[in-house]
Amino acid sequence: MNKSSDLYDITIVGGGPTGLFAAFYAGMRELKTKIIEALPELGGQLSVLYPEKYIYDVPGFPKILSKELVKNLIEQAMTANPTLCLEERALTLRRREDGILELETTKGLHISRTVLIAAGVGAFSPNKLSIPDAEKFEGRGVFYFVREKALLKGKKILIVGGGDSAVDWALNLKDEAEKVTLVHRRDVFRAHESSVKQLFHAGIDIFLFWEVKELHGNERLEEALIFNNKTRETKVLPVDVVLINIGFKADPGPIRNWPVEFEGRHIKINGRMETSLPGVYAAGDIAHDPASVYFDLIVIGYAQAAVAVNCAANYINPKATLFPGHSSERSS
Ligand code: FAD
């Protein structure tokens, strides 16, 4: 299927909690839905910044792990059968004379009747190692995400980082890999305390105050040269894979130039979540209604997503009711 040339009812920019809940709601309204997300995984800040933290203020969950909430949100969103465009960053937005919206991305052009901007604090991208070899071996041994765990079976894996992702992947891969080694440039971990405890009892080689200096290989990665940032001692480790988990940066980037009105870092919306450009809505952390107070909270994004999608359904078909009906009255 050519994802780009089909006309969609709603295209959601951002696959965080706001975008995911919006996709579910778009399904309730039987809208043909697409999600465009810069990262290869969904969940926004919850997946990237605090997957192992408990959240206590999501209605219906007295306490839920961030990554569990993302899992549930994805399951709920997928009932709408949205087209997922992952690892694709939206660059420009334009409204044609016929009212159709054109979104240009890093991978192509998308057309849609309406657009919901749920881009949070901006497009996330993984921090990279500041050595030229890392880029050279990207996709040929150097990775920032684990796409298929099975592909790492029997490999010698070097994990770089001290946050939740680095520690979780070290624990997760230790039984499948031939060997897992972790290097971290400090001795303080940002990961969950219990996971760090587990790490030190898991038979994983851990190098604290060590960093990657060079990567060697021909077609594929073969060795990593690491160095101790206190003593300057170096070591060569045989490796098949270097998994770099040293955090993410968010870049609001191109959206700042889109033809919608801004107020500071926020896109200005009204009570219907409409931006200044007809057919374009915004919700969640990126949006702000000057007539209202705003909080950067998941629950606010949910409510705004529901309002935005119902208003979009009514914009596409003015005869359609604004109120979606109760989900509890659906047959399944
Ligand atoms: P985000 O979660 O930021 O998701 C936006 C997504 O859009 C990202 O995945 C991004 O990659 C993508 N994107 C952006 N630009 C583009 C583009 N141009 N093209 C394609 N994709 C793009 N809130 C609570 O309610 N309770 C809590 O306990 C809580 N704890 C928190 C703890 C921490 C450490 C942090 C940092 C935040 C916490 N929050 C909490 C806030 C909450 O995470 C945010 O309010 C929520 O994530 C906003 O969701 P969103 O979908 O609007 O944006």
Helix (H) or strand (E) holding 156: strand 156-160
pLDDT at 187: 95
Q: Report which ligand 1 atom has the smallest distance to the Cα of 42.
A: 9
Burial 152-167 (b: 16+ CB within 10 A, else e): beebbbbbbbbbbbbb
Three-state SS annotation for 118-132: CCCCCEEEECCCCCH
State how far the Cα of 14 lies from the Cα of 120, in Å rounded to an integer: 7
| Residue 15 contacts residue 123 (beta carbons within 8 Å) | no
Beta carbon of 121 within 6 Å of any ligand 1 atom: yes
CA of 122 to the centre of ligand 1 (A): 9
Give, using CA atoms, the residue closest to atom 6 of ligand 1: 14
* 34, 41, 45, best to mutate for ligand 1 pocket (most atoms within 8 Å of CB): 45
Q: How far is the CA of 66 from the centre of ligand 1 (A)?
A: 11
Q: How are beta strands 205-208 and 210-217 bridged, if at all?
A: unpaired
Q: Residue holding tokens 């702000």?
A: 288
- Can you say whether residue 245 is alpha, beta or left, with left for phi > 0 and alpha for psi between -120 and 50 degrees? beta
Instruction: Name every residue whose Cβ is closer than 8 Å to that of residue 328 and which is 6 or more positions away in sequence.
Output: none
Number of Cβ atoms within 10 Å of the Cβ of 328: 5
d(CA 96, CA 144): 37
Whether the CB of 284 sits within 6 Å of ligand 1: yes
Per-residue pLDDT 10s for the chain (332 aa) are 445 679 999 999 999 999 999 999 999 999 999 999 999 999 999 998 888 789 999 999 999 999 999 999 999 999 999 999 999 999 999 999 999 999 999 999 999 999 999 999 998 889 999 888 898 999 899 999 887 788 899 999 999 999 988 999 999 999 999 999 999 999 999 888 999 999 999 999 999 999 999 999 998 999 999 999 999 999 999 999 999 999 988 888 899 999 999 998 899 999 999 999 999 999 999 999 999 988 999 999 999 999 999 999 999 999 998 888 888 887 66
Please answer whether residues 3 and 34 qualify as being in contact, where contact means their C-beta atoms are separated by less than 8 angstroms.
yes
Residues 6 or more apart whose CB falls under 8 angstroms from that of 147 comprise 40
Residues in Cβ contact with 204 at an 8 Å cutoff, skipping those fewer than 6 apart: 170, 171, 174, 180, 181, 182
Whether 259 contacts 277, CB under 8 Å: yes
| DSSP, res 82 | P
Q: What is the DSSP letter of 264?
A: T
pLDDT tens readout for residues 203-250: 999 999 999 999 999 989 999 999 999 999 999 999 999 999 999 888
Shortest-distance Cα residue to atom 16 of ligand 1: 123
pLDDT at 51: 84
- Compute the C-alpha angle 111/118/79, nearest 5°: 75
- Distance between CA atoms of 35 and 82, rounded to whole angstroms? 7
Adjacency order of strands within the sheet including 262-263: 262-263, 266-268, 287-288
The alpha carbon of residue 80 and the mean position of all alpha carbons in its chain are separated, in whole angstroms, by: 19
209 lines ligand 1 (CB under 6 A): no
Predicted pLDDT of residue 52 = 79
